[in-house]
Structure 1
């Protein structure tokens, strides 16, 4: 298989709803998850997790939670990206230790960084934005995974239209109000070919300096 560039993966990835029953090799799945966890994370909190659902009962549960969408039933793997808005309150010693070992952060930096990141999270809490920020981190990780999957010849579908309470129940966190579901991503081998429907011209979606769509659409 020819290795895709990042640009090629971006251009060729399509959302696939129907899958072959072929399993995803464990080593391939491990690679995908490792690459997803390399995604950027605000303040390096890494306030997102992934639940890997492969067993038929779990995937049937996610079919129920998604209102009968075909992806969980057909795809051999469904990944549930979980946002952890309260992660900043926990012990981050392992994050700091790893940064020390990698010679990425000095002791002085760690001390200042820890204080500044806590202050930043407290500001988010005051504005009721903790959940939003954690979901952003989880979504970035999911995007990394989908591009990596494309390179490896796998198909994916970022899934919306699910019931958060039902998804939580399926993955065993129905009592965790401190956690949020960010996204479901089906992973497997495509049983269909999806053509690119195209994207609008950049003069409709890309602006420089200020947002001017209202003026463009009005003919100014």
Structure 2
């Protein structure tokens, strides 16, 4: 029986792995990872991100092309493409509200307030040119959930940059969709290498108290 990791252990054990064994994922593993991904937080519960599963040799070879020959799509059995949907706030979200009603999470008064406030917030983002940024944030949070869940399962992942957005969009069939954006690619598989933790800077260098530049002194906290 596989030992499972706590969330804290998964955070500490996760490493970015670029090389993978030629071993497929179990369908149940992939299904669970995707189910956990959609549980990630999303601004205003718009769920303005989607995931394209690439698990065929042809699709992965296309991503090799789109990523400039990186090894992850060549070797990993699955690559997830996280798509940001900056314009999804304009769509009908009655299904979201219906589900919240059934779950007893939101009442009618809250839904009316929430819907109006959400629209006003998105209109403000549009005016400031921030719609894409907010949708990408939501997609990145979902990608992080996948990476930690995969680590808990004993799998390896790599969050991938260095891709050509136009090429990735072509591979997943949205090259004509200016309303969509590529947020991140994540390869998933069984590791063919062991990556050691390179370390992180001390907290005093990166964690501040009240104001940026004022160190967080952990020994001074009660």
Q: Same fold (TM over 0.5)?
A: yes
Q: Which residue is 1:218 aligned to?
A: none
Distance 1:170 1:72 in 2: 13
Per the normalisation by structure 1, the TM-score is 0.96
Per the normalisation by structure 2, the TM-score is 0.95
Between the two proteins, the alignment pairs up a number of residues equal to 214
Per-residue CA distance 1:25-51 (angstroms, 9 max, x = gap): 111100000101100000000000000
Per-residue CA distance 1:132-187 (angstroms, 9 max, x = gap): 00000000000001000000111000000000000000000000000000000000
Q: Which residue is 2:177 aligned to?
A: 176
Q: How does 1:1-220 map to 2 (within 5 A)?
A: 1-212=2-213
Deviation at 1:61, TM superposition (A): 0.4
1:3 counterpart SS class:
coil
Deviation at 1:207, TM superposition (A): 0.4
5+ residue gaps, structure 1, are 214-220
5+ residue gaps, structure 2, are 215-222
Deviation at 1:91, TM superposition (A): 0.5
Deviating 4+ runs (over 4 angstroms) = none
Deviation at 1:117, TM superposition (A): 0.2
Deviation at 1:203, TM superposition (A): 0.8
